Amino acid sequence: MQRRCVICDSDQGPRVAGINIDVCGLGHVTYAMRCCAGCGLVLQDPAVPPELMARHYAHFAPYNAFAADEPPLTGTSLRMLTMINAQSLAPGRVFDVGAATGGMLFHFRREGWQVGGSDLSPEAIRQARDINGISLTLGSCEEALTDQRDLDLITLSHVLEHMYTPRPALAAIHQALAPDGHFLLETPCLAEPERCAPGIFSMEHVNHFEQITLTRLLHTTGFAPVSIEIGGDNPLYPVITVLARKMATPQPDTGSARDNNLAFCAAYTARDNALWHDVQTRLHDVLTPREPVYIWSAGVQTSQLLARTDLMQHARIVGLTDRDPRKQGFTLESLPILPPDEVIAAPHRILIASYSFAQGIAADLSARGVTPERIVHIY
């Protein structure tokens, strides 16, 4: 699917990455990243078709509210609360778009806010109500905000990068806010290539912002940033957190991040290639040729591992497994996704393919009686 830039509408600019991976439940997915000639935004173009993405979310988007305890105060929630408190925003009515199970709203409510929100997932809405006692509206940002007026604060946490067409959503946010209302958002940030995990251009993220393009999008949709923070504690990439106040009218902005983003993509690609080269070397060091082995996790990081190395040729992958039972019965590169118990009970070694959760998975396997010799680390 061809896409025009969501900020400046240009369809020009160089391709900075091309991805072709097999994704559990979807089959082979291809898309590319383009750096917009007009504003420098890095966006999917051609993009994963929205219907395919919707199927992915419907089947595999995990919602895990914590039933026994209160929801954890995530890094994002903490940054957002700290930012509004630093600007001395008094608690009022907050609406969280893409609220998932209401984990962040739980903590806003505790600080005196009247909370509301929306999500696209009926399952998330059920958990928000039953577990956190928070009532959410089912629907898109535009749908959910139709009946909302004079809100003091609207939050958008890790949603903007998923939106194929953010402008109508931002218009709905602008309209639903009080004249002196604020908009608080967080999204991944193209910065610090040396700390980015492999595969930051993930299938789910159709837009990649940084300070220049995000500011341009906000100015031209009627918001003036009052506080911007880049960094955070996300293990995969830095994030940008912005608090903006509503302006009466949009402001023109012609800023371009083109040079910065092309430099970022070049540095990131070099690092990514070097990382996969190291993984490939390590695979050959730790696995004997044609050794039967299982792969733990069947997510997109595994899809990348299979696409970027010769693991399938070097070893004999017996099967994969994943903690998400919904993935069992599907295949990845024609390999079966098996129940974890079956993999644990078998004699073969288990290769951990997850980059971000490798330590947690290893600890989990140890707790289930898997000896350290059977666990293969590759990063």
Number of CB atoms found within 10 A of residue 9's CB:
11
Shortest distance (Å) from residue 252 CB to Zn ion: 14
Q: How far apart are CA 192 and CA 353, in angstroms?
A: 24
Q: What are phi and psi of 120, to 5 degrees?
A: -85, -15
Least distance in angstroms from the C-beta of 31 to Zn ion: 18
Q: Considering the complex, what minimum distance in angstroms separates the CB of residue 39 from Zn ion? A: 3
Segment interacting with Zn ion (CB under 5 A) among 3-11, 190-198, 296-304, 360-368:
3-11
Residue 328 sits at φ, ψ, to 5 deg, of -65, 140
Site stretch for Zn ion (CB under 5 A), options 28-36, 118-126, 172-180, 348-356: 28-36
Q: Which is nearer to Zn ion, 7 or 317 (CB)?
A: 7
C-beta of 236: minimal distance to Zn ion in Å? Answer: 24
CA atoms within 13 A on the CB side of 4: 6
> Of 26, 39, 159, 169, which lies in the binding site for Zn ion, with binding defined by CB under 5 A?
39
Q: Which of 1, 3, 32, 38 is close enough to bind Zn ion by CB under 5 A? A: 38
Report the C-alpha gap between 111 and 89 in whole angstroms. 11
Structure letter (DSSP) for residue 193: G
**Minimum CB distance to Zn ion, residue 33 (Å):** 13
C-beta closer to Zn ion: residue 264 or 355:
264
Longest dimension (CA), the chain: 66
**Does an H or E element contain 59, and which?**
helix 50-60
Contact criterion met (CB below 8 Å) for 118 and 98: yes
Residues 246-265 that bind Zn ion (CB under 5 A): none
Which span (22-30, 38-46, 115-123, 170-178) binds Zn ion, by CB under 5 A?
A: 38-46
- Tokens for 235? 């293990």
- In the bound state with Zn ion, the residue whose beta carbon lies nearer, of 38 and 339, is 38
Size of residue set near Zn ion by CB under 5 A: 8
Q: Is the CB of residue 282 less than 8 Å from the CB of residue 220?
A: no
Asked if 36 is part of the footprint of Zn ion (rule: CB under 5 A), the reply reads yes
* 323 touches 341 (CB < 8 A): no
Least distance from Zn ion to the Cβ atom of residue 175, Å? 24
> C-beta of 211: minimal distance to Zn ion in Å?
15
Q: How many CA atoms lie within 13 A of 370 on its CB side?
A: 27
Residues 36, 45: Cα–Cα separation, whole Å: 10
Nearer CB in complex with Zn ion: 13/188:
13
- What binding mask, one character per residue, do residues 185-214 give for Zn ion by CB under 5 A, x or -? ------------------------------
Minimum CB separation of residue 225 from Zn ion in Å reads 19
Sign of CA dihedral 263, 268, 269, 270: positive
Residues 4-23 that bind Zn ion (CB under 5 A): 5, 7-8, 10
Site for Zn ion in 40-59 (CB under 5 A): 41
Chain positions 169 to 188 lying near Zn ion, rule: CB under 5 A, are none
Residues with Cβ within 8 Å of 213's Cβ and at least 6 positions away in sequence, in order, are 7, 39, 40, 41, 255, 257, 261
Binding residues (CB under 5 A) for Zn ion: these are 5, 7-8, 10, 36, 38-39, 41
